[in-house]
Structure 1
């Protein structure tokens, strides 16, 4: 085996370490994190203190958690919390991706883990831009196909508004407004001609969902947004009049 192959194998083993935070006894200053389902995670108290000012304040004061070396986390999701810990572990540094960003950002924000928050914001902005670029590159005549790329944008704007990430919200509003508004505005009615397929149109399904299912989901997500966000999207959309269904630059 070459030295490069050994290095690659070692890197894989580090990233895939199953015992990280899930097995007791690795740290002299270990503290136990206890979840509603009685699952437990184990971490260094100093590691948590340095990563999060919330944990630092907790451990620096004469509180029950400090004395008992145990922190109860009611309502917290075990898997999501573990994901955050793996992201900030200096030896693992699990990447923030589209598959985990909306899972970890709530915990990172609540515990003020700035390194993870910064990565999450950057990923959300990049995801918005990539979704728009992909929709524009694949703007088939069958407009419902664009719902594949609109849906993550609606998820992002909802999460960013919840966490008051105003820069992300602003960019998300501008991005969503560039999609045809009949993809998410319940008051808009499409004509039968807009469902016509031709040889340049993709199949009418993606995975187990039809594009009509995706549109319905996008409409529900839009209706569930706070009023002020819906207003901003509609107002921004007025700048893109003239294209009812397609992507605009």
Structure 2
């Protein structure tokens, strides 16, 4: 019997809990496994919520495949490793359900990813550099959402090392350029560009000529920067300025 059968077929555990997901998907899990892995589930069972009394828990807020991946990681007979394909999903679940050991493993994997991605800044292709920065932004967003401050700081440092143009898809703003009104640093951060007329031309020449598809890493990178919270924008741009001061 495979480990996966423990979760997809009923009757494999004497203390079975049924997890109900959207579209009628179900997973069958040992209550002891959930208690051991997560104080959130332990409290849920101890307080005898309606779900624990009926031996079923509604999991409509969770993605079925992501939670299945989590269980494969937790099961002692499988212990599927944290890798680059599953870490972004696992870190959110580990944070939500207070699985500290798994959270630390996810953090270490994302730090390894940042070290690897930082080497991409020397690539000649703008698309390859933007793809790497886009991956760093995804790590930064997860780190911010899961309160991993040291990981957030590491991600910001790597992102800033790539340079302004790669980060936001436009060249640096020229403050005080003749005919261009001065803009504050906070305005640049809140808009994500602070661009001049020349920057607008750059966008038209370098970005709009590229097919506007979801597979366009330059477009993706720009959108990721524009959608992060303003405080993270400020930190990224401040770190970039700090790098420039050292050069």
TM, length-normalised to structure 2? 0.79
Is 1:153 paired with 2:156?
no
Alignment partner, residue 56 of structure 2: 70
Distance 2:53 2:168 in 1: 54
Is 1:34 paired with 2:37?
no
**1:29-108 matches, cutoff 5 A:** 29-108=15-94
Distance 1:115 1:24 in 2: 28
What secondary structure is seen at the aligned counterpart in 2 of 1:241? helix
1:173-210 deviation line (CA, Å, top 9, x unaligned): 11100002112325533869x98xxxxxxxx99xx94x
Is 1:170 paired with 2:170?
no
Alignment partner, residue 123 of structure 2: 139
Distance 2:28 2:136 in 1: 35
Is 1:236 paired with 2:236?
no
Gaps of 5+ in 1: 1-12, 196-203
Alignment partner, residue 216 of structure 1: 219
CA RMSD of aligned residues (A): 2.6
Runs of 4+ in structure 1 off by over 6 angstroms are none
Q: CA deviation at 1:19?
A: 1.3
Alignment partner, residue 179 of structure 1: 162
Distance 1:70 1:80 in 2: 19
TM, length-normalised to structure 1? 0.78
Q: CA deviation at 1:114?
A: 1.5
C-alpha contact (below 8 Å) 2:4/2:72 kept by paired residues: no
C-alpha contact (below 8 Å) 2:131/2:221 kept by paired residues: no
User: Higher helix fraction: Structure 1 or Structure 2?
Assistant: 2
Mean Cα deviation higher: 57-66 or 39-48: 57-66
C-alpha contact (below 8 Å) 2:18/2:27 kept by paired residues: yes
What secondary structure is seen at the aligned counterpart in 1 of 2:8? coil
Gaps of 5+ in 2: 172-198
1:206-244 deviation line (CA, Å, top 9, x unaligned): xx94xxx2111101100101000000000000122289x
